[in-house]
Amino acid sequence: MKLRKIITLLIIAYLLLVFCAPLSMAYPTKHVSFKEAGDEIQIFFQEATETNLILIMGSKVSLIDQAIFDVSKNLIEGFSNEPFYLDATIHSIDNISEEYIVLLGSEKTNLLTTQIINNNSLNFTETLDTSVFILQFGIEKQTDRHIIILFNKNELNIAQNHAYERSPLSNFLNPITVTIIATAISVILLYLWNMFGSTIIDSVSDYTSESIMERKHSKKKVRRKQITKLKLNEFIDYKELLAIVLSSAVFSFAMSWAWADNYMQMPYFFIMTFIVISIVLFIREYSLQYLCYHYKMRAEHIFWKFGALLTIISSLIGNTFSLSSYTLIDETEGIKKIYGKITFRISLILYFFVLSAFALNMFYPSIMLQMAYIFTIMMLFIDMLPFSPMDGYDIRKWNRKKWIGFYIVVAITYVLLFFNFTYFF
C-alpha cells in the first residue's frame, strides 16, 4: 500500500517525540486507581455537607478537563449536586467561608491554587497519582480547613496559550473577543488575497520590463504556476526543503510568542518547536510529494511570504491563523480532483496522529508532544479553509460532503485542544 511508507514515517516521528521529550517531572506520590482516589476523598471529607463544601474551577482549565471533572464529581457521593464556582469570581481564598474546599486546577490554571502555593499556607498530608490526575490533600495552617487540589497530571509539564493575554487588544477586550477578532482579521485577509492576490502581484510586476496588459494573458490564481515550471519529483528537492525550514521558523516564532510562559523562555521554546514543526512538516510534504509522483502529478512546495507575514501578525494580535507555505500543483481539472483526494487522506492520517499524541500526552506529558498535536491540529484547521491556497479548496471540489464533515470534526477538536480560557459549565 502506498500509504504504508507515510504511516511508517509518522510512527518514527512519534517515537522520536516521545523519547526526546522530557517526561513529567518527578512528584512524591502514591499511585492509586480512580476508585481508590474517590474513597480517599470521602474519608478526607467525611464531615462535608452541601452547606460547608465548595468546588472551585480554575478559569484556565481546558475544556476537556472541565468535562472530565464534571463527570467525575457525579461518581463521588455527596458531590453530584454541587455546582462549580469560577476562581476569578472569588478572587481570594480568604473570601471562602466553607470548611471543605476542592480546587480544580494547578497553580498554572487556578488562581486560588496559585495563592495557596505562593503563600505556603497549606500543610500537605498526602498526594495521590491516578496516572491521569494528581490529588493533593492538605490542611490550611491558620483555619484548619480541609483542601484538595485536583488537576490533570499533564499540567506539571505542559504550556498554556498566552496569545490573547499578550495581544494589545487584551487591554480593553476579553480573551474570547480578542481571539475572535484576531481570527476574523486573518480570515478576511486570506479571503481578500484569494480574490485579489493575483491582481496585486500583476500590479507590482508592472514596474518590471513586462506590462500588466502583457501579463493578463498568462494570469493564474495565486497558488498555481504554469505546468512547464513544475517538475515531476519523487522526493523533496533543496528548494522545497528550504521552504519547509523557513515555514518552520515562522511558526516557531509564532508558537513561542503564544505558548512560552515568559519572554525569557522564548529562545528555548523556539528551538524546541522548530524541531517539532520541522518533523511534522517534512513528513507531511514528503508524503504529499511521494503520492503526487505516484499519480504522475507535478507539484512543488513553496514558501508563502504573505502567509508568513499574516502568521506573525495574527499571532501578535491574539491568535495564530495562517500558513506560511503551500503546494503548487498542475492546473487541469482531473489533477485537481486527484489532489483533493490525496490531501484528504493525508489530513485524515494527521488527524489520527493528533488524537494519539494527545492521548499519549495524558499519561506521559511533555511539551514536545503537546506542541506536536497543537501545531498539527492548528495546521489542519487552517488548511481546511475552502479557498486557495488552502488544501480545503481542493478537498471541497473533490467531495463537498466529506470536506464539510471532516472540517466540523477538526474545528471542534481545534477549539478543545487549542484554547484554555473558556469556562464551560
For residue 250, being part of any structural domain is answered with yes
Q: Are residues 225 and 301 in the same domain?
A: yes
Q: Are residues 141 and 181 in the same domain?
A: no
Residue with cell 480593553: 172
Over the chain (425 residues), the average pLDDT of each successive run of 10 is 55 54 51 87 88 90 83 79 87 88 90 91 90 90 92 80 84 81 84 67 44 40 44 70 93 92 88 92 86 79 88 89 80 70 92 90 81 92 86 90 94 82 42
d(CA 18, CA 32): 24
Q: Are residues 12 and 60 in the same domain?
A: no
For residue 425, being part of any structural domain is answered with no
Read off the C-alpha cell for 280.
511534522
Range of the domain at 94: 32-156
Q: In this predicted structure, what is the pLDDT of residue 174? A: 78
For residue 184, being part of any structural domain is answered with yes
What count of residues does the chain have? 425
Q: Please, where are the H alpha helices in 206-237? A: 212-215
Domain boundary among 156, 179, 201: 156
SS3 state at 267: helix
Closest CA to 102 of 132, 61, 142: 61
Closest CA to 282 of 245, 324, 238: 245
Q: Are residues 47 and 12 in the same domain?
A: no
Which helix or strand (DSSP H or E) is residue 337 part of? helix 333-363
Q: Are residues 172 and 137 in the same domain?
A: no
Q: In this predicted structure, what is the pLDDT of residue 205? A: 42
Q: Are residues 185 and 270 in the same domain?
A: yes
d(CA 400, CA 392): 10
Q: In this predicted structure, what is the pLDDT of residue 380? A: 94
For residue 423, being part of any structural domain is answered with no
Number of structural domains the chain divides into: 2
The DSSP letter of residue 233 is: -
Q: Is 356 exposed, middle or buried (0-12, 13-18, 19+ CB in 10 A)?
A: middle
For residue 424, being part of any structural domain is answered with no
Q: In this predicted structure, what is the pLDDT of residue 140? A: 92
Q: Are residues 233 and 315 in the same domain?
A: yes
Q: In this predicted structure, what is the pLDDT of residue 221? A: 44
Q: Are residues 234 and 377 in the same domain?
A: yes
> Residue 88 in contact with residue 422, Cβ under 8 Å?
no
Q: Are residues 89 and 183 in the same domain?
A: no
Distance of CA 138 to the CA centre of its chain: 34
Domain boundary among 94, 122, 156: 156
Q: In this predicted structure, what is the pLDDT of residue 103? A: 94
Domain boundary among 113, 141, 156: 156
Q: Are residues 356 and 221 in the same domain?
A: yes
> Residue 212 in contact with residue 235, Cβ under 8 Å?
no
Closest CA to 291 of 347, 225, 246: 347
Q: Are residues 149 and 263 in the same domain?
A: no
For residue 390, being part of any structural domain is answered with yes
Q: In this predicted structure, what is the pLDDT of residue 7? A: 54
Strands 30-31 and 122-129: parallel
Angle value at C-alpha 365, between 347 and 259, nearest 5 degrees: 70
Closest CA to 224 of 75, 92, 326, 109: 326
Angle value at C-alpha 25, between 44 and 87, nearest 5 degrees: 50
For residue 63, being part of any structural domain is answered with yes
Read off the C-alpha cell for 413.
477538536
Q: Is the dihedral of CA 96, 102, 108, 114 positive or negative?
A: positive
Strands 299-303 and 100-104: unpaired
Q: Are residues 19 and 59 in the same domain?
A: no
For residue 12, being part of any structural domain is answered with yes
Residue with cell 503546494: 327
Give me the amino acid identity at 69.
F
